[in-house]
A = this chain, B = another copy of it.
Amino acid sequence: MSAGGSSSLRRDTRWWGWGDPAEPTELPGGAERLLVEHGIEVGPVSQRPSLDRVRLPAASPIPEAVLEIAGAGNVSLTEEDRIRHSGGQSYLDLTDRRSESLAFAPDAVIALDDARRIVPLLEACAALGVAVIPFGGGTSVVGGVTPRDTGFERVVSLDLTGLRDCRIDPVSMTATLGAGLRGPEAEALLAAEGLTLGHFPQSFEYATVGGFAATRSAGQASSGYGRFDSLVSSIRIATPTGTMNTIETPHTAIGPSLLELIVGSEGAFGVIPDVTVRARRKPDVCRYEAWMVEDFEAGNQIVRRLAQERRLPAVARVSDQTETEVSLGTSVPGGVAGDLFRRYLKLRGRGEGALMIVGYEGSSIAVKRQGAELRRSLRSGGAVALGTSAGDGWARGRFHGPYLREALLDRGLVVETFETAQQWSRHSDFYSSVRRAVTERLAAEGMDGIVMCHLSHAYPDGASLYFTVIASPGRAGGPAGWRAVKTTAAEAIRSGGGTLSHHHATGRDHAPWLEDEVGRLGLATLRAVKEELDPAGIMNPGCLLPVEPA
């Protein structure tokens, strides 16, 4: 144990928010005007919170036996590390940390760099009643790492960023990657062999391989490379009752898929120390184009046709009219900056419309051919080309969204996203009903807001919908207001038959609706698995499975 904290812990991000502390969090040009146009009052820029001023609950002492197994130098009890592990990146997590007053924080942070210590550690924690929250990049936006309402008096955050192994099988094109590798680190290791995962979620720069697997992450190029779960070739999980491995095989018909039971387990069954994934050759060419279609529905129909013909490009996104207006009206990195395009579009008869981003990745011949074919499909769907510089703008800014969010939070606004997926036959009505419900609830809460949406993950049978809400805090204040809106969103999603999450996972935020989505027997089955692997219930209590009333 080290009073200064463990050496393998990383402290290179903002403790109170997203990402690189050197990266500015400025409101982009045009944004303030646009917010005002939507009736959103933009407050003055708040002062940055100070680590010294943060109040957090006193730490309950962690039993010596647990600390001993963790090993000297692997335990941190510092306030900074406890604060850094007090939550993820949801609006509620961020406002908690910005408020300088935390209701929940782990009692200690343990950072292991040796996967063999996990099972003994979990055994000790189970025996001594210490809850364990696995922590990778800390980028959960659904309360997956927030030590809230665990039902345990003592909670450790188990930081996995020290698990950084990499073994590549170049013949099978698979790689076994340590859970703690961040997206760019994993890509750098693969790139040395000419490989890539093609997994680029917005959280890519800080999220970890273990988190990708634990949450069924989906990247922005999921149409081309597949969601993370489809990249997993084999996996293991270290639980309080031992380790479960799935065998390395391209496929097996030996019973139900235990691999698919570990993927998506969200830390509630155990810790994923590493994941073996299928890699691809790095593409020679990546080409991103922006297009404008008549409206959201027209764009979605183009994507549906491509998906059902199995012709989707690596990236296929459609913004609804509101999101399009915001993209065009602000000069954000990745926004397809303003007036130039507006004028061009007016000339072409698309004064309003829906923005599409289409991305091709592969060999230069393949990209050229796919591009030529898809451009025909896009034009026949009524799309107008905005060219590659606008597309490249999107690609450059694809990981920048969280910084923009900080700029809005700085001004006292509520900024949050939620996402779902739906079959094509209900997709359009579902979009409208969820959007309407959220808009009405914002109004009822006195929150002036923008609700915008895009489709970014498409399948032959349906597609995702990703909503972003920017709003004034309303009568009840931001966090209380957002909780109300989130409840309405979840209820509208479920009553429309959609899933509570296409790729953000369950976390603690969706756990109250888990039974509604998976049913009584589905919930009972998940509980039975947890009971088998984690009989003391110490693994990430409250995440995925709601804490049962005592």
Q: Could you list which residues of chain A lie within 8 angstroms of chain B, going by C-beta atoms? A: 169-174, 215-218, 227, 229, 233, 239, 241-266, 268-269, 278, 280-281, 308-310, 421-425, 457-464, 497-506, 510, 514, 517-522, 524-529, 531-533, 544
Contacts and interface: CB of A to CB of B under 8 A. Distances in A.
Contacts of A506: 253-255
A229 to B, nearest CB: 8
A510 B264 contact: no
Contact of A263 (B170, B257, B501): B257
B528 A531 contact: yes
Contact of A256 (B171, B262, B458, B520): B262
Contacts of A278: 460-461
Given A261-B261, A424-B171, A533-B525, A503 B243 contact: no
A256 B251 contact: no
Given A524-B532, A531-B528, A533-B525, A502 B256 contact: no
19 contacts: A169-B425, A174-B461, A218-B251, A239-B521, A241-B521, A242-B521, A248-B423, A249-B462, A250-B422, A250-B461, A250-B463, A252-B500, A253-B264, A254-B264, A254-B510, A255-B544, A259-B260, A261-B261, A281-B308
Contact of A247 (B281, B308, B497): B497
A527 B532 CA distance: 9
Contacts of A501: 252-254
A514 B254 CA distance: 8
Contacts of A263: 256-257
A126 to B, nearest CB: 15
B174 A253 contact: no
Contacts of A457: 251
Nearest to A428: B171
Contact of A308 (B173, B242, B262): B173
Nearest to A252: B499
